[in-house]
Amino acid sequence: MINKKSKYVSASTPLFKNKKISYILASSFKKDSIINLEIQDGKTANIKNVSISANTEFGYYKQDTTEYIQEVDSGIYYINQTSRKARFRDFKKNINTLKEANGIIIDIRGYPKYFTDKIIGYFTQETIYSANFMTPITTYPNRKNINYKVDSSKIKARKPYINTKIVFLTNEMAISYAETILDIVKYYKIGKIIGAPTAGTNGDITKVKLPIYSFYYTGLKVLKHNGSRLYGIGIEPDIVITPTIKGIIEGKDEVLERAVEYIKTETEK
């Protein structure tokens, strides 16, 4: 079914395309529908029946099943920047606790709230900049001699400076602003990135409406900080972890678990 839908869905990376298709399929179900899956263990012939609820909301934002900021292990705090509960004032209320933390895990598995760049300011002692956003200036036909208007954004250092181990979680649903943030994190070595490569789609949004359907594209050229290609590749994590069937069945967040393990290991060094 996914293969049949694939040729009708636009996405810059295979993982992002599969995720989009899964939400298109889920949209055909009614609210609170139950999907029965047969999952075969790769090592044995055992087949397990698993019932899951169909979430028809596209996964840029997480379901708010947890608090925005919570302690997930002794001295290790998890911050869900894709939650609708996320508020900058709540981050600032917890600033003293976070300053003394053994580690902080920031979840950007999706589209983060627009104050995420302000949070990054607490993890640097200097002004830092995003990669360039380049608007093409076309004066010749056939895309000859194109010039670019170059823009970037800056993040100022904020006080108090939080000097602890920082981990960012990401996956194929991290797109646009999320990729801008993660590229800054990687270039300036603000923290480790754990998870799966991002969507590989950044820039502005231009919408074209046609009688039957609409489509979107970006008119900007955006490269990574180091000048390499972003489109179709995404921001690649330092530690690649993707959910396993076993973990999903057991209700585990294996990416978060790996982040906690990483911080604890680094703290013990």
Higher pLDDT, 215 or 77: 77
DSSP 144-164: -S-EEEEE--EE---SS---S
**Separation CA 266–CA 268 (nearest Å):** 5
What pTM, to 2 d.p., does this model score?
Answer: 0.83
Which DSSP string do the residues of 224-258 spell out, in sequence order?
-TTS-B-TTT-PPPSEE----HHHHHTT--HHHHH
Q: Pinpoint the alpha helices (H) of the chain.
A: 2-6, 14-26, 88-93, 95-99, 116-120, 177-187, 245-249, 254-268
Q: What share of the chain is helix, strand, coil (3-state, %, to 5)?
A: 25, 25, 50
To which residue do tokens 């680094």 refer?
266
Q: Which residue has the tokens 């609409």?
A: 214
pLDDT in tens, 72-130: 999 999 999 999 889 999 999 999 999 999 999 999 999 999 999 999 999 999 999 99
Confidence of residue 213 (pLDDT cuts 50, 70, 90): confident
Which of 127, 227, 120 lies closest to 177 in space, CA to CA? Answer: 120
Distance CA 36, CA 49 (A): 7
Domains recognised in the chain with CATH numbers: 1-58 (no CATH), 60-268 (3.90.226.10)
pLDDT at 248: 82
Contacts 24+ apart (CB under 8 A), 57-60: 57/23, 58/20, 58/23, 59/19, 59/23, 59/110, 59/173, 60/110, 60/111, 60/173, 60/175
Q: Higher model confidence: residue 222 or residue 43?
A: 222
Query: Alpha carbon of 199 to those of 7, 24, 171, 174, 228: distances in Å?
Result: 18, 17, 8, 6, 16
Q: What tokens were used for 20?
A: 């989009």
What is the per-residue pLDDT across 2-54, written as a single tens digit (0 to 9) for each?
Answer: 677 677 777 777 777 777 767 666 666 555 555 555 555 555 544 455 544 54
CB burial of residue 223 (10 Å; 0-12, 13-18, 19+): middle
**What is residue 104's predicted lDDT score, i.e. its pLDDT?**
98
Contact 72/105 with Cβ under 8 angstroms? yes
Q: Is 54 helix (H, G, I), strand (E, B) or coil?
A: coil
CA 150 from centre of chain: 25
What distance in Å separates the CA atoms of residue 71 and residue 2, rounded to the nearest whole number?
38
Question: What pLDDT sits at residue 1?
Answer: 63
Least confident of 113-122, 133-142, 163-172, 243-252: 243-252
